[in-house]
Amino acid sequence: MENGRTQFPFPYQPYNIQEQFMQALYSALDQGKVGIFESPTGTGKSLSLICGALSWLTDYNEKKRQEAAALLQEGEAALSTSAAQSSTTSSSAEPDWITDFVQKKAERDLLSKLKEDELKRKKREERLEMIRNNVQLKYALKRKSCEEDEAFKLLQLSKEEKAEAPGDQEDEELIIAEYESDDETKSKSRFLGAEDDEDDELVEEHVTKIYYCSRTHSQLAQFVHEVQKSPFSKDISLVTLGSRQNLCINEEVRRLGSIQRINDRCMEMQKNKHEKQHHDEGVKRKRGPAKSVCPYYKASAMHQMRDEVLGAVHDIEQLLKLGKETHSCPYYTSRLAVPPAQLVVLPYQMVLHEATRRAAGVQLKGQVVIIDEAHNLSDTLSCIHSAELTGAQLCRAQSQLTQYADRYKSRLKAKNLMYIKQILFVIEGLVRALGGKVGQNPQSQTTQAGTEMLTINNFLFKAQIDNINLFKLQRYFEKSMISRKLGGFVEKYAGSGVILHTQSSSNKENRRTEGLNRYLQNLQSNQSSAPVPSADQQGSVESEKVLSASPMMQVEGFFMALTNSNTDGRVVVHRQGTLSESSVKFLLLNPAVHFAQVLKECRAVIIAGGTMQPVSDFKQELLFSAGVGEERITEFSCGHVIPPENILPLVLCSGPSGQELDFTFQNRDSPRMMDETGRILSNICNVVPGGVVCFFPSYEYSRRIISHWEASGALARLANKKKIFQEPKKANQVEQVLSEFTRCIQRCAQDGGGLTGALLFSVVGGKMSEGINFSDDLGRCVVMVGMPYPNIKSPELQEKMSYLDKHLPHSQGRNPGQALIENLCMKAVNQSIGRAIRHRGDYSSIVLCDRRYSRPATLSKLPTWIKDRTGTHKTFGPAFAALRKFFVEKKQKQL
């Protein structure tokens, strides 16, 4: 292994850059490095990651086996030699015998552990081999699960509906258990949160593994399909992790819809199961209605399904199908499969957020983590660990918690009441910081509009809650499960006049993760393939979601955010006229503080993406700030597999009439600049076949320039050449616009007359600038109008810049805050222009309309494979000639 590898198993003859990628990856993993790997879309990055990383894991495991066998042999030989020497020693030499015993104890212990590890390894391999090969056993398991399924259906049919009698006895599950001590020792963690010995048998020691993380579930599914096509598909143990929303097969629970409701119902069913087991064991149970338990949460069935999961590579769809066949829970089975699995595939939020990591049973010590699609890693870390509360949420939480405490004050222990009073005191302080009062309607309370940025300590002083120990409150939230209890109370008594708004409950696993859940829900909505509701339906669904979210869970998340170091974050107090619409937001300024633990625990971390530029600033903000030394970092960047003649990147410094292209905030709204942009697009549409995608820096500028073109007639002239489409503002309409855009281009290619294709107006950072594939005729030219700098007047951005200027070193005569602005701009540009050129045979042109793109510092931030082929043109004529020649040559080659 010291010399690396030159040959890698691959499903076909790899490109040279793929071989280089795998060799660099293998070396980085072997040396325990933090690797930054850049490989453009269409270069087979996923397969390179799979074959390079799994080759290393195979070699590593073999090396460890050989080392263990050699140590075992040496140990046994040493002990036998020692025993022979001891037998020849006089029996009267007792002190020497004792000394010898003590000296050899460490060797015996090591030998015993080596034997135990070897035995465990053999058992794991034998079990996997049996699952992979024993077809009869598989059929027997399926037959058994079918019989259980039928029995369960009969049982469901025979159940009689029982009306629940009102009374305090029913509320036993809503009462917080006695809270004994702030500093009590941690209870033994259990993988399933279960209390029976049967579940304990399922818990295993973690083997050396690779955690592969990506941004969305669809990207993870695509990666699993690549593993299935790879040479390792028959030999690797892979498990895919996801949320309950993705993996639950209990229809009664799935129907609840939201992540939070599903989580709460699942946790409640688990609790009911354990209560039922205690009752079966003879523990006296209080009267009350029968509580439902989940029929899929059975240790024996999950044990069987876990072995099936480890025996063959399954994606989430196959996991759900297997769960239904074996009548066992895919969510908990997948977590059971983590310890013995060699490759764990999961959304990277599950690795980056500590509380979620613990809940999923992910242990990073000595393991390998690969973070794919990592170009926005810094932003994602900041988003996950941020938290926001509105005045309306604070008032609802205060009202509900007060009513809960009043109703059960005679049944709650003194310490619980003390902590509830502290929570209410903090909530009151937060409302006071927004300029309001609790106990009054937040919608009728007016506040003085304005935004204030405070350090954590200053905010605590302003809210007059600096005397409260938030760390103790955080522990209390975690151990008492008060968010979940309050949620159950609200859900039970909503509509009875007790509670202002319906709320859902929280649970042990998704508490303290408010920022993460908001992030996951955004991803879920982006990835949803469900039928698209109307705009009105969508609005009512969104408002229902807002009302059904537990405010106490979000309060808990905000409390946790306030325990960050004073220098690592800021609190934004945003007053908007009424208390209801005003908000307090925690803004994380130092994402490295949360990434540091991942980097410290892991053997190696690989950060991969299609576009990782600019790498220097990425290293400074996330790696150096997390304590990683330059010697541990390795970089790899490869070109594209397309021939140089298949891409034509152009920088335009002026338009057809000679107007200089300078889309600064001061100049871009001038009629001359807008007219010149229209003329550029008109010329491009004359010579480019198929689809042209034009990106504007913002929705507002897109609206203004298109309105100007409508008035001047430029839009009508464009419509005579290509059919015009615009990016929709609502996410649920994107698929429809893309389908119509695609069909139009296909029709134009077949008809050969009239329109030459379609023109799509899009926005940088919008719904079509990332994750959308404009391959082949869909994206023969990508036009970038101006440079999409973020809003420099944003208080959050100004605070981030100030933080970087203060804490990061200045380089090459520029301060880190200014570098952040440039990097945010160019990362957005790189993502947008990366929508074209998606495979080896593809070809496209990229037109960057702004003289500022010609600056060497700006050009250096483009991906290498684009930068090296970019031509800068001071005048329009030569650029247009190059563009026309490019497409004429492509057309001739096709004839």
In tens, the pLDDT along 564-582 reads: 889 899 999 999 888 889 9
* Residue indicated by tokens 């015009």: 724
Residue 433, number of CB atoms within 10 A of its CB: 22
Helices (H), 134-230: 135-158, 197-200, 217-229
Between 640 and 131, residue with greater pLDDT: 640
Q: Which helix (H) or strand (E) holds 79?
A: helix 45-88
Inform me whether the pLDDT recorded for 641 exceeds 60.
yes
| Encoded tokens for 17 | 């850059």
> Which of 128-142, 146-160, 222-236 shows the lowest mean pLDDT across its residues?
146-160
Report, as an integer, the average pLDDT of 173-195.
Answer: 49
Give the pLDDT band (50/70/90) at residue 613.
Answer: confident
Inform me whether the pLDDT recorded for 183 exceeds 80.
no
| Encoded tokens for 530 | 């469900």
pLDDT for residue 43:
78
pLDDT in tens, 686-698: 999 889 999 999 9
Between 709 and 65, residue with greater pLDDT: 709
Cβ atoms of residues 375 and 609 within 8 Å: yes
Q: Which helix (H) or strand (E) holds 724?
A: strand 723-726
Map residue 56 onto helix, strand or coil: helix
Nearest Cα residue to 726 out of 776, 766, 771: 766
pLDDT for residue 24:
94
Report, as an integer, the average pLDDT of 170-193.
Answer: 52
Cβ atoms of residues 508 and 481 within 8 Å: yes
Inform me whether the pLDDT recorded for 417 exceeds 70.
yes
pLDDT for residue 771:
61
Write out the DSSP string of 10-54.
Answer: -SS---HHHHHHHHHHHHHHHTT-EEEEE--TTS-HHHHHHHHHH
Nearest Cα residue to 49 out of 60, 35, 61, 65: 35
Inform me whether the pLDDT recorded for 605 exceeds 70.
yes
Q: How far apart are CA 103 and CA 97, in angstroms?
A: 10
pLDDT for residue 189:
36
Report, as an integer, the average pLDDT of 740-762.
Answer: 84
pLDDT for residue 106:
65
* Residue indicated by tokens 């100049």: 667
What is the dihedral angle through the alpha carbons of 800, 805, 808, 813, rounded to the nearest 10 degrees?
A: 130
Report, as an integer, the average pLDDT of 243-266.
Answer: 84
pLDDT for residue 879:
93
> What is the 3-state secondary structure of 362-427?
CCCCCCEEEECCHHHHHHHHHHHCCEEEEHHHHHHHHHHHHHHHHHHCCCCCHHHHHHHHHHHHHH
pLDDT in tens, 354-407: 888 888 889 999 999 999 988 888 888 998 898 999 999 999 889 888 988 888
Q: How far apart are CA 558 and CA 511, in angstroms?
A: 11
Q: How far apart are CA 36 and CA 44, in angstroms?
A: 17
Inform me whether the pLDDT recorded for 126 exceeds 80.
no
Mean pLDDT score of the chain: 80
pLDDT for residue 323:
93
Sign of the C-alpha dihedral computed for residues 878, 884, 885 and 890 taken in this order? positive
Between 97 and 335, residue with greater pLDDT: 335
Sign of the C-alpha dihedral computed for residues 421, 424, 429 and 435 taken in this order? negative
Report, as an integer, the average pLDDT of 699-711.
Answer: 93
pLDDT for residue 532:
35
Q: How far apart are CA 573 and CA 452, in angstroms?
A: 5
pLDDT for residue 190:
35
Between 438 and 281, residue with greater pLDDT: 438
Inform me whether the pLDDT recorded for 163 exceeds 50.
no
pLDDT in tens, 654-663: 999 999 999 9
Q: How far apart are CA 503 and CA 490, in angstroms?
A: 6
pLDDT for residue 268:
79
Map residue 573 onto helix, strand or coil: strand
pLDDT for residue 179:
64
Inform me whether the pLDDT recorded for 640 exceeds 70.
yes
Map residue 756 onto helix, strand or coil: coil
DSSP-assigned letter for residue 347: E
Inform me whether the pLDDT recorded for 767 exceeds 50.
yes
Cβ atoms of residues 393 and 555 within 8 Å: yes
Q: How far apart are CA 672 and CA 561, in angstroms?
A: 49
Cβ atoms of residues 694 and 764 within 8 Å: no
Give the pairing of strands 690-696 and 757-763.
parallel
Chain-centroid distance, C-alpha 406: 40
Write out the DSSP string of 320-338.
Answer: HHHHHHHTS-HHHHHHHTT
Inform me whether the pLDDT recorded for 75 exceeds 80.
no
Q: How far apart are CA 108 and CA 99, in angstroms?
A: 14
Q: Cα–Cα distances in Å, from 136 out to 34, 130, 379, 560, 829?
A: 45, 10, 50, 52, 56
Identify the bridge partners of residue 388 per DSSP, sorted by sequence position: 585
Q: Which helix (H) or strand (E) holds 740?
A: helix 734-751
> Which of 123-137, 381-395, 573-587, 847-861 shows the lowest mean pLDDT across its residues?
123-137
pLDDT for residue 660:
92
pLDDT for residue 166:
43
Map residue 577 onto helix, strand or coil: coil
| Encoded tokens for 557 | 């998340």
First-to-last CA distance in the chain? 51
Give the pLDDT band (50/70/90) at residue 180.
Answer: low
Give all strands of the β-sheet with 34-38 in edge-to-edge order. 238-240, 343-347, 210-214, 368-371, 604-609, 34-38, 633-637
Cβ atoms of residues 715 and 706 within 8 Å: yes
pLDDT for residue 342:
93
Q: pLDDT above 70 covers what percent of the chain?
A: 77
Inform me whether the pLDDT recorded for 536 exceeds 60.
no
Map residue 186 onto helix, strand or coil: coil
Give the pLDDT band (50/70/90) at residue 815.
Answer: confident
Report, as an integer, the average pLDDT of 328-334.
Answer: 93
Report, as an integer, the average pLDDT of 411-430.
Answer: 91
| Encoded tokens for 98 | 């004792």
Cβ atoms of residues 656 and 664 within 8 Å: no
In the Cβ-directed half-sphere of 572, how many Cα atoms lie within 13 Å? 23
pLDDT for residue 199:
41
Cα-based angle 660, 661, 663 (whole degrees, multiple of 5): 135
pLDDT for residue 895:
62
Give the pLDDT band (50/70/90) at residue 303.
Answer: confident
Q: pLDDT above 90 covers what percent of the chain?
A: 33
pLDDT in tens, 269-296: 877 666 655 555 555 545 555 567 888 9
In the Cβ-directed half-sphere of 577, how many Cα atoms lie within 13 Å? 2
703, with CB counted inside 10 A (0-12, 13-18, 19+), is: middle
Cβ atoms of residues 229 and 46 within 8 Å: no
Give the pairing of strands 387-390 and 578-588.
antiparallel
614 preceded by a cis bond (ω within 30 of 0): yes
* Residue indicated by tokens 């259906």: 153
Map residue 580 onto helix, strand or coil: strand
Report, as an integer, the average pLDDT of 489-494.
Answer: 72
Q: Cα–Cα distances in Å, from 445 out to 438, 449, 547, 554?
A: 10, 12, 20, 22
pLDDT for residue 875:
92
Cβ atoms of residues 798 and 587 within 8 Å: no
Give the pLDDT band (50/70/90) at residue 332.
Answer: very high
What is the Cα gyration radius of the chain? 31
What pTM value is reported for the model?
0.81
pLDDT for residue 219:
84
Cβ atoms of residues 787 and 821 within 8 Å: no
Give the pairing of strands 34-38 and 238-240.
unpaired
Nearest Cα residue to 220 out of 373, 9, 55: 373
* Residue indicated by tokens 């242990």: 363
Report, as an integer, the average pLDDT of 553-573.
Answer: 90
